[in-house]
Amino acid sequence: ETGVTQTPRHLVMGMTNKKSLKCEQHLGHNAMYWYKQSAKKPLELMFVYNFKEQTENNSVPSRFSPECPNSSHLFLHLHTLQPEDSALYLCASSHLLAGKGGTDTQYFGPGTRLTVL
Amino acid sequence: QKEVEQDPGPLSVPEGAIVSLNCTYSNSAFQYFMWYRQYSRKGPELLMYTYSSGNKEDGRFTAQVDKSSKYISLFIRDSQPSDSATYLCAMSASTGGGADGLTFGKGTHLIIQP
């Protein structure tokens, strides 16, 4: 398997369920990201992990809980979601640019299509 | 004012035409500029990556960045039906060592008519 993979590809859950999204990158990168893509809206950055340390949380509700056990794996734990949370959830990874700041290009997985009933 | 403005389209052109896609932005700190292509039900795929101002060419694709006008463009020559997709512009600023999430435009839906 190459690149960035995400599982499951599709998920339907009720508002009281607990589920987790998984992302794995096979590119040797050291930064990982969660984005949300809703219809008619730009991709929204949710979380950033830098060498397994969370460095950004863009005012995301606590019903979304990220976990990054190592630089290759990223999870998004979901609980008591709302119907408006239905969207495509995208994981991405990148290299950090040593000495320059910022990051090299980000590579995306195929996404998990989430529907909350 | 939104940070990145991009016309969502749809933009429909005949096969073989030159396509011009554009974004404007307001944050002068942005230094890294990218174009992604996204097919239906797929994740975004990186097409072009540029740092600061200037032009970059890769096959039928040319990316232009004008930081003084806060304006970036993607040109597609000899457009093909397989180029039909949503094109997303994205950009980020240097944070001095940390990872940056990208700030995206809404994406332009492009249709190439055979």
Strands B108-113 and B11-14: parallel
Q: Verify whether the Cβ–Cβ distance A110 to B43 is below 8 Å.
A: yes
* 8 Å CB contact between B79 and B15: yes
> pLDDT tens digit string along B14-47?
999 999 999 999 999 888 899 999 998 889 999 9
Among the partner-chain residues A40, A102, A109, the one whose CB lies closest to the CB of B100 is A102
Cα–Cα–Cα angle for B42, B43, B45, nearest 5°? 110
> If DSSP codes are grouped into helix, strand and coil, which group holds residue A43?
coil
User: Using 50, 70 and 90 to split pLDDT, how confident is the model at B50?
Assistant: confident
pLDDT of residue B18: 97
B81 preceded by cis ω (within 30°)? no
Nearest CA in chain A to B2: A42
Q: Tell me: pLDDT of B53 over 90.
A: no
* 8 Å CB contact between A34 and A74: yes
pLDDT of residue B32: 87
* 8 Å CB contact between B6 and B57: no
Q: Which residues of A touch B44 (CB under 8 A)?
A: 43, 90, 108
For an interface test with A, which of B56, B100, B108 has the most A Cβ atoms less than 10 Å from its Cβ? B100
Over chain B, what is the mean pLDDT?
Answer: 90
**Residue recorded with tokens 């932005």:** B25
From B1-5, B56-60, B80-84, B104-108, the region with the lowest mean pLDDT: B1-5
Q: Which residues of A touch B45 (CB under 8 A)?
A: 108
Q: Which residues of B touch A41 (CB under 8 A)?
A: 106
Dist. CA A31–CA A25, nearest whole Å: 10
Q: Tell me: pLDDT of B74 over 60.
A: yes
* 8 Å CB contact between A48 and A33: yes
Mean pLDDT of B50-54: 84
Residue B3: count other Cβ atoms within 10 Å of its Cβ: 14
Q: Verify whether the Cβ–Cβ distance A101 to B45 is below 8 Å.
A: no
User: Using 50, 70 and 90 to split pLDDT, how confident is the model at B97?
Assistant: very low
pLDDT, averaged in runs of 10, over chain A (117 residues): 88 92 94 90 89 76 93 95 95 75 76 95
pLDDT of residue A98: 58
Q: Which residues of A touch B48 (CB under 8 A)?
A: none
Buried-state track A68-88, b at ≥16 Cβ within 10 A, e below 16: beebbebbbebeebeeebbbb
pLDDT of residue B54: 86
Q: Verify whether the Cβ–Cβ distance A33 to B101 is below 8 Å.
A: yes
Among the partner-chain residues B49, B98, B107, the one whose CB lies closest to the CB of A55 is B98
Mean pLDDT of B91-114: 81
- Would you say the C-alpha torsion B77, B23, B97, A57 has a positive or negative sign? negative
